[in-house]
């Protein structure tokens, strides 16, 4: 693809929750100067002109933006399919009705577990009941509903109960995605990485649920990278399908690319089209020419594109190395050691919660 398919508009990193698995940047103060309404409207127009079809309104908590309804209305007028990615804190019926009238197409609500005590403990604030109420509002207003549950050592054993919760809420799609270890999740990896036994049990539950709910609810299950034989392609390939605009106007080819120390690209300085086509940031790992061996000579180089550049940097300090998740990587021992430690752990590590910034 020579044009991006999707735009992830990270409207703000402010959030009423304090999830210890949050993968957003730790240095939130660097993103306090958020794009204005007019600047976001320009970004949406440039995205549509560039060929973007889907706009994911995300954060942090996008409902904290008072201009959210206006942004949705403009995206709808531009012909973009809009998806609200939200904790649902603040999704009252009046606000939901405004968003429905503005043309919002889809709502994705995150829940942390299937019952109040555990969910609220993971979220760092009482929130479960409000999420459930919001999910009912979403269905009553006729939206498709996706529930997203980030899985980790603290909640994966309740995956069967999570599926039943999604059934009760009549979710159209359930995303069961194991934690990606960036941001606060990286700081909490020892406490979050599940054991192999936990994963095997979870996979068994997912297989049975998919068979039972086929045609009723789509279930997406994403393995933790650390237990995979091969890495996943980063965002479908670096600078290949999607672009991310951060709250401060930085434009990124993947959600954690801010951590790599590469030259910045910003809507304050260039258009989205110029950034997508010409910026050194988007060119750096696009395609396969940049690859070292064993990626360069691997038959999978056009499938996983060497894996995640941010994960390679996180684990080795070099974003150009083969993702250590791959069993062919010369650095794979880093991952096997983390997995060994997770499977030998007999105590419960304490989580460091992301600070509240609502």
Give pLDDT tens digits for 256-295. Answer: 998 898 999 999 999 999 999 999 999 999 999 999 999 9
CB 328, CB 322: distance < 8 Å: yes
pLDDT of residue 115: 95
Secondary structure (3-state) at 214: coil
19 in a labelled binding site: yes
Write down the pTM of the prediction.
Answer: 0.94
> CA-CA distance, 308 to 310, in Å (whole number)?
5
Is there a binding annotation on residue 298?
Answer: no
Enter the tokens of residue 102.
Answer: 């503005």
Report whether 22 belongs to an annotated binding site: yes
Question: Measuring CA to CA, how many Å separate 210 from each of 28, 65, 218, 263, 352?
Answer: 38, 36, 7, 43, 34
Instruction: Give me the pLDDT at residue 205, please.
Output: 97
**How high is the pLDDT of residue 25?**
87
Residue 329: CB atoms within 10 A of its CB come to 22
List the one residue out of 246, 277, 282 whose CA is nearest residue 262: 282
Other CB atoms within a 10 A radius of the CB of residue 109 amount to 23
Q: Looking at the 3D structure of the chain, how many domains does it have? A: 1
The side-by-side arrangement of strands in the sheet containing 54-58 is 218-222, 173-178, 145-151, 106-110, 81-86, 54-58, 6-10, 242-245, 251-252
* Cα gap 219→32, rounded to integer Å: 36
pLDDT value for 221: 96
- CATH number, domain with residue 347: 3.20.20.70
Give the rounded percent of residues in the chain with a pLDDT score beyond 70: 97
Distance in angstroms (rounded) separating the CA atoms of residues 121 and 265: 37
Residue numbers of the domain that contains 278: 1-357
284 CB-near residues (< 8 Å, 6+ apart): 238, 262, 290
């Amino acid at each position: 693809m020579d044009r991006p398919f999707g735009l992830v508009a990270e409207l703000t990193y402010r959030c009423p929750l304090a999830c210890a698995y949050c993968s957003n940047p730790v240095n939130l103060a660097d993103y306090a100067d958020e794009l204005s309404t007019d600047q976001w409207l320009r970004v949406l127009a440039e995205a549509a002109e560039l060929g973007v079809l889907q706009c994911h309104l995300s954060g942090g908590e996008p409902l904290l933006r008072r201009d959210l309804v206006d942004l949705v209305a403009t995206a709808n007028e531009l012909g973009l399919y809009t998806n609200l990615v939200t904790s649902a804190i603040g999704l009252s019926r009046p606000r939901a009705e405004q968003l429905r009238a503005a043309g919002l197409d889809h709502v994705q609500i995150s829940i942390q577990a299937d019952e109040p005590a555990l969910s609220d403990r993971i979220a760092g604030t009482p929130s479960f009941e409000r999420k459930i109420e919001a999910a009912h509002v979403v269905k009553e207003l006729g939206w498709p509903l996706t529930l997203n549950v980030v899985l980790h050592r603290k909640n994966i054993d309740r995956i069967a109960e999570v599926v039943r919760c999604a059934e009760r809420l009549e979710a159209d799609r359930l995303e069961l995605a194991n934690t990606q270890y960036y941001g606060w999740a990286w700081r909490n990896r020892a406490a979050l990485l599940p054991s192999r036994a936990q994963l095997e049990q979870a996979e068994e539950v997912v297989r049975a649920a998919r068979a039972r709910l086929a045609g009723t609810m789509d279930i997406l299950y994403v393995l933790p990278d650390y237990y995979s034989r091969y890495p996943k392609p980063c965002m479908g390939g670096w600078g290949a399908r999607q672009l991310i605009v951060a709250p401060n106007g930085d434009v990124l080819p993947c959600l954690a690319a801010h951590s790599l120390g590469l030259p910045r690209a910003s809507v304050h300085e260039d258009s989205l089209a110029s950034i997508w086509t010409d910026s050194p940031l988007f060119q750096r790992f696009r395609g396969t020419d940049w690859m070292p061996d064993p990626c360069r000579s691997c038959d999978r180089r056009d499938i996983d594109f060497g894996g995640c550049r941010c994960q390679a940097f996180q684990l080795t300090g070099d974003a150009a190395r083969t993702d250590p998740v791959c069993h062919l990587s010369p650095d794979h021992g880093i991952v096997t050691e983390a997995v060994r430690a997770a499977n030998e752990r007999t105590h419960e590590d304490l989580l460091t919660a992301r600070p509240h910034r609502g």
